[in-house]
Structure 1
Amino acid sequence: MTNEKEIDAQQSVTHPRAVLELFDAYVHGAIDRRGFVSQCALLVGGTVAATATLAALSPDFARGQVIKPEDKRITISHVDIASPAGNGTIRAYVARPAGKTSARLPIIIVAHENRGLNPHIEDIARRLAVAGYMAVAPDALTTLGGYPGDEDKARAAFATLDRNRIGEDFVAATNHARTMAGGNGKIATVGFCFGGWIANMLATRVPDLRAAVPFYGSPPMLADVPKIKAELLIHYGGNDTRTNAAWPDYEAALKKAGTRYKAYIYEGAEHGFNNDTTPRFNKPAADLAWARTMALFRRTLV
């Protein structure tokens, strides 16, 4: 039950703070592409430079890929899960260790950012499979055709969805995953940005969830915090003032409820510091946060 600040995670981003804040606003829908370019142009010396800055800050999925889809250590499949929110079905990407078809494995729900199930989140699922877990990664964009292969289009499509309906889809996916062939019923979750809120929310909705790991995510409804039975591991970037503003009230609710949790603030790290497909990636912070995450899963999913 600690709130610890990391002082050894050095910032790897070289863009000015004002540019990073503009990019954060763009990624989260506060301004559109044109708004980013026009405002950024005032900071970097013109439209051409602003356009180049946006390209540099945008994901490069090939550069950040850790586990290739064809890696022989894993097998990939998909499952369609009925949605209780009137959304038809939600499709999930499933990664598990190869050669263990008869093994019953712990399950980890992987919750994506506000762009649906993009290649980076699929890669996160594959990393968990290599570590010995069955990773189930639902795509909230299923009813709109799935992740469109373009981050701008994905973000625009995602903005048309109802947040609470997405939450219900992830609850349904979690309940379904518990019963999937090859699973042992022990279940945890990890999520990033919007998926961090999903991880927090699932902890309030799934009583037998063993662990929840939100990376720079919004808290759940504070009135629901006493429902949490899972152990929480909460990661924040030190420079992420927008997300971090909600932490004091969340921490107070966790303490009042007696929830088992640890929270870490990685000094010098940005929102999205674990995403190794963008320049906001902070390797020291990401490596430490991931090591802590895997240690929690090893301990709680036995």
Structure 2
Amino acid sequence: MAQSNQFSSTAASIDAQSYAIPQEAFDWYDEYAHGLIDRRTFLARLAKLTALGFSMAMLSSALLPNYALAEQVSFNDPEIKAEYVLFDSPMGHGEGRGYLVTPKNADKTLPVILVIHENRGLNPYIKDVARRLAKAGYIAFAPDALHILGGYPGNDDQGRSMQKSLDKGKIEQDFLAAAVFLKEHPASNGKLGAVGFCFGGYVVNMLAARMAKQLNAGVPFYGTPSAKELRSNIKAPLLIHLAELDKRVNATWPDYEQDLLANKVAYQMHMYQGANHGFHNDSTGRYDELQAELAWSRTLDFFKQQLG
């Protein structure tokens, strides 16, 4: 078991104004984004900050996503090929659809990585993560849990409501089916990794517990653990990224770590100082550039070590 390291850095932000925004605002957004408070309550709390000199426009620009900022690899990049493909999900919603990105001109089979979105469907940030992995030499596949409802609607609030309306068990089955589809893809060399963010981090932990023989490496970013009764099944090495200010997810870590230790799972956990839940998402003010780049470089190194 590799011991976690902590790193200090100044939180980078989409907008310099977000440096001054109180931490409470980011905590409220996390509660809102995860259904712990409704939109009215969230906006009412933000309104109280206007007495401190913040405008609602300033707060919104720092907290809500701007996906125009989230493209690090263009879908027109000449080194990759991006397309949408369907897959069967008989135990889930019957049919799934995802964003498949492959390196162009690959002359051999390659490791494959499932990319799992947050609790709002396949948004532009997650598609960009898939493209980043393809640029790094992997076949990446990012399913959209909202396919059965017409797909990601282009709006996170609506996407969140849509995903909440679906049966969580069927969503999980869709991702299990997507993982099998990807591992068995003709261009796959049989080595399967998974990376996910927030809800997607939970799904990575779930896949590790339910696909012990098929998953070769898992990287959950600030995700809650799988059900306790399943954790003894975990075999795949895990690289776990947590954010220091993410009290909600971090509260689940001590119990999860005890189960990983008890079952002799090979894992590394890194806690990123001063970072909020969602610090890897470069479309919001929670983005911490230095910590995100560090976490991503570790992720690529881990996949290279585990998948080849």
What is the TM-score of this pair, normalised by structure 1?
0.95
Task: Give the aligned partner of residue 301 of structure 1.
Answer: 307
Structure 1: gaps spanning 5 or more residues? none
Runs of 4+ in 1 over 6 A off after TM superposition: none
Corresponding residue SS for 2:154 = coil
Structure 2: gaps spanning 5 or more residues? 13-17
**1:80-229 counterparts in 2 under 5 A?**
80-100=86-106, 102-206=107-211, 207-229=213-235
Aligned residues between the structures: 301
- Which digits, 9 at most, give the CA deviation of each residue in 1:103-155, with x for residues without a partner? 21100000000111001000000000000000011100000100001111111
Contact 1:37–1:47 (CA under 8 A) maintained in structure 2? no
Segment drifting more, 27-36 vs 207-216: 27-36
Q: Could you tell me how far apart the structure 2 residues matched to 1:112 and 1:90 are?
A: 14
Task: Give the aligned partner of residue 261 of structure 2.
Answer: 255
Contact 1:38–1:47 (CA under 8 A) maintained in structure 2? no
Corresponding residue SS for 1:229 = coil
Query: What is the CA-CA distance between 1:48 and the residue it aligns to?
Result: 8.6
Contact 2:92–2:171 (CA under 8 A) maintained in structure 1? no
Opposite residue 163 of structure 1, the aligned amino acid is K
Query: What is the CA-CA distance between 1:51 and the residue it aligns to?
Result: 5.0
Corresponding residue SS for 2:279 = coil
Task: Give the aligned partner of residue 64 of structure 1.
Answer: 70
Is residue 2:9 matched to residue 1:9? Answer: yes
Task: Give the aligned partner of residue 288 of structure 1.
Answer: 294
Evaluate the alpha carbon distance shift between residue 37 and residue 48 of structure 1 in structure 2; reply closer, same or farther with a 3 A threshold.
farther
- Which digits, 9 at most, give the CA deviation of each residue in 1:60-106, with x for residues without a partner? 11112100111111001222111123412110110011122x42110
Is residue 2:280 matched to residue 1:274? Answer: yes
Q: Could you tell me how far apart the structure 2 residues matched to 1:126 and 1:61 are?
A: 15
Query: What is the CA-CA distance between 1:47 and the residue it aligns to?
Result: 11
Q: Could you tell me how far apart the structure 2 residues matched to 1:223 and 1:23 are?
A: 31
Alpha-carbon RMSD: 1.6
Q: Could you tell me how far apart the structure 2 residues matched to 1:273 and 1:111 are?
A: 16
- Which digits, 9 at most, give the CA deviation of each residue in 1:28-82, with x for residues without a partner? 1222322211111112339992354123311111112100111111001222111
Contact 1:78–1:93 (CA under 8 A) maintained in structure 2? yes
Evaluate the alpha carbon distance shift between residue 143 and residue 270 of structure 1 in structure 2; reply closer, same or farther with a 3 A threshold.
same
Quick one: percent identity of the two aligned structures?
Answer: 43
Contact 1:83–1:172 (CA under 8 A) maintained in structure 2? yes
Task: Give the aligned partner of residue 15 of structure 2.
Answer: none
Opposite residue 6 of structure 1, the aligned amino acid is Q
Task: Give the aligned partner of residue 42 of structure 1.
Answer: 48
Contact 1:5–1:264 (CA under 8 A) maintained in structure 2? yes
Q: Could you tell me how far apart the structure 1 residues matched to 2:61 and 2:157 are?
A: 12
Query: What is the CA-CA distance between 1:161 and the residue it aligns to?
Result: 1.3
Opposite residue 109 of structure 1, the aligned amino acid is L
- Which digits, 9 at most, give the CA deviation of each residue in 1:169-219, with x for residues without a partner? 100110111111211111010000000000111111111211000000000
Corresponding residue SS for 2:55 = helix
Contact 1:37–1:51 (CA under 8 A) maintained in structure 2? no
Query: What is the CA-CA distance between 1:257 and the residue it aligns to?
Result: 0.4
Segment drifting more, 174-183 vs 12-21: 12-21
Contact 1:226–1:259 (CA under 8 A) maintained in structure 2? no
What is the TM-score of this pair, normalised by structure 2?
0.94
